[in-house]
Structure 1
Amino acid sequence: MDFLSDFFIRFVAKLQSPTLGFLIGGMFIAAFNSRLQIPDAIYKFIVFMLLIKVGLSGGIAIRNANLTEMLLPAAFAVVVGIIIVFIGRYTLAKLPNVKPLDGIATAGLFGAVSGSTLAAALTLMETEGIQYEAWAAALYPFMDIPALVTAIVLASIYASKQSGTAGKRVRIWPIVKDSLQGAALSALLLGIALGLITKPESVYESFYNPLFRGLLSILMLVMGMEAWARISELRKVAQWYALYALVAPLLHGFIAFGFGVIAHYTTGFSYGGVVILAVIAASSSDISGPPTLRAGIPAANPSAYVGSSTAVGTPIALALGIPLYMGLAQSLMGG
């Protein structure tokens, strides 16, 4: 009972954080038809700044880290990304009124990673004083790319069977290339590379780090407004998408949390790192994933996978997933 009460208190406290407050505030002003708008160019710039900061910190940490410590968590990130897509393929994609290609694309988007959700989690963890390996942010592409590739491959196999061209070879490299060229992943990988190759500590401490939380609050406001706006898109598709988007983020996060705990007891992976692994699994790609899937699975309906992700999946991951996994980790740490 002490564990449960401690966890509940921590969970409620996370819901009162400023970061999540901006998200909920954005949803409220959108619900009241406010004319407040954040230009798309500013939104993209903010995302770029946040991911560059995350990448720089990860690259600096990797440069000074024992790379063997990353092997098991990175392998688990790959496995979780693939598992998430297969779960969606054999649950959502087989439900009534759900077109298989739409279901597979949705699973791919939920298997891919949201850079903004990751940034929100890192900020909250720093606020709470939860320690984690700085290179843990670099687990992002290890889950993101395999998930997108798996979804597009499964969609290609399904389409081939339907058209009677089963056995046609699916080209993997173009899928990987599109993922790497995505805006979010490119920014993150650029930051990691700069952190590894150069010595950006001075500009990191004087520019990127001080601006991080302020920019993140604006991003959360925009995401809250978009989440409310996407609800109308979600109404166009089967109700199963809403149920999937409600359950999937938490389920995916718990799966990753379990793998993270295994890594914790096997290699000493920190509980903060376990939270990061769970958060990226609970998130669904909001920047790089949609254009990759639009190109890789052109027959899928974007209203299905983008609507379910943005309207339900992202708010669930942010408002419930992050505080849930942080509270669970803190309770396990006994902190």
Structure 2
Amino acid sequence: MVDAVPFFFALGAVASLARSGLRLPAAVFETLSIYLLLAIGLKGGVEIARSESATLWVDALLAIGLGAIIPLLVFPLFRLSFSRPDAASLSAHYGSVSIVTFAVGAAVLAGRGVEVEGHLALLAALMEAPALIVATLIARWGVKSADGSSTAGALVHEVFANKSVVLLGGGILIGWVAGPQGLEPLSPLFVDLFKGALCLFLLEMGLIAADRLPDLKKAGLFLVGSALALPPVLALAGWGVAQLMGLGVGGTVLMMTLAGSASYIAAPTAMRIAVPEANPALGVAAALAVTFPFNLLLGIPLYLWWAQTMAGA
């Protein structure tokens, strides 16, 4: 069965390239993003409440470690072609995660009847911040700052109090405390409508991604090639961590998806504060116009095939 979800992204991209004038109202797009983050968090919190996993916090530490290590791995690659600030900023984008890519992966798995461990949403939330902190340290290593304290304070606030962390973390907490029975009345809103809302969100993301293509042309082939090559390579690191966690096929696919994704929401905002001298167009263009569609159209099916093959499923 062909999953229709990724095609909405493609439709948006085609509509933008055709200059159709199609665009979701800003308020609708903002509402959809809030809804999706809350829905993902609530579902994850409910699953955590259902489970009695003794390894939850071990898995959490492994996820945080993976998020912190990825910037260290990709920084030397980006440094080959970019300045230290730009390379550090790009490392932050590829070390942090895309919650929307995670949501698409979860929707694809649900459509195919593949079960997923409930605490993956918690791991996704935990993986956003470490890369941003590590990338900032890379950019600032040996560089004196006249107002380091104020910059550090703003960065900490942006990393831990940004919209995605608050909504995802808050949703997890609510779902965890309320449990399955407490959230049952909300299922028609946060469960039944989820996939439809995700499709509308991806339609707008396709429009935005196509708008970023001129930035990619300016950046050159090195960035495009890196943005295509990194997802499957980093996904293998995610697969390795998933094996340490003892995840099933579904959880492994989502861990690979998180590791192979790139942030285009939290990372650009945090890097604008922490590394203002970096070119913000590079990370957003690579993450949104190359890596995001790659994962939607090719990456997630590839990760599923790999996880099933390695598991002998």
CA-CA distance at 1:171 after TM superposition: 8.0
What is the aligned partner in structure 1 of residue 59 from structure 2? 73
What is the aligned partner in structure 2 of residue 198 from structure 1? 178
CA-to-aligned-CA distance 1:109-155 (integer Å, 9 cap, x gap): 11111111111111111001111111111101222111111111111
Contact 1:117 1:283 in 2 (8 A): yes
Alpha carbons of structure 1 residues 32 and 86: separation in structure 2 relative to 1, 3 Å? same
What is the aligned partner in structure 2 of residue 47 from structure 1? 33
Contact 1:153 1:170 in 2 (8 A): no
* Residue ranges of structure 1 left out of the alignment (5+ in a row): 1-12
Alpha carbons of structure 1 residues 277 and 158: separation in structure 2 relative to 1, 3 Å? farther
> Aligned equivalents of 2:275 and 2:87: distance in 1?
11
CA-to-aligned-CA distance 1:14-68 (integer Å, 9 cap, x gap): xx42011111122222221111111222112111111111101111122232252
**Residue identity opposite 1:132 in structure 2:** V
Percent identity over the alignment is 27
Q: TM-score, normalising length from structure 1?
A: 0.86
> Aligned equivalents of 1:192 and 1:263: distance in 2?
20
> Aligned equivalents of 2:27 and 2:119: distance in 1?
29
1:285 counterpart = 2:263: yes
> Aligned equivalents of 1:69 and 1:172: distance in 2?
33
What is the aligned partner in structure 1 of residue 114 from structure 2? 130
Q: What are the equivalent positions in structure 2 for 1:22-61 lying under 5 Å apart?
A: 22-61=8-47
3-state DSSP class of the match of 1:159? Answer: coil
3-state DSSP class of the match of 1:210? Answer: coil
Q: TM-score, normalising length from structure 2?
A: 0.92
CA RMSD of aligned residues (A): 2.1
1:179 counterpart = 2:156: no
3-state DSSP class of the match of 1:91? Answer: helix
> Aligned equivalents of 2:254 and 2:290: distance in 1?
20
CA-to-aligned-CA distance 1:90-115 (integer Å, 9 cap, x gap): 1112x13x112111101101111111
1:209 counterpart = 2:191: yes
Contact 2:231 2:260 in 1 (8 A): yes
CA-CA distance at 1:230 after TM superposition: 0.6
> Aligned equivalents of 2:250 and 2:87: distance in 1?
32
What is the aligned partner in structure 2 of residue 86 from structure 1? 72
> Aligned equivalents of 1:170 and 1:74: distance in 2?
30
> Aligned equivalents of 1:116 and 1:40: distance in 2?
17
Aligned residues: 310
What is the aligned partner in structure 2 of residue 240 from structure 1? 222
3-state DSSP class of the match of 1:102? Answer: helix
> Aligned equivalents of 1:39 and 1:282: distance in 2?
30
Contact 2:44 2:122 in 1 (8 A): yes
> Aligned equivalents of 1:170 and 1:156: distance in 2?
14
> Aligned equivalents of 2:184 and 2:19: distance in 1?
43
Alpha carbons of structure 1 residues 27 and 304: separation in structure 2 relative to 1, 3 Å? same
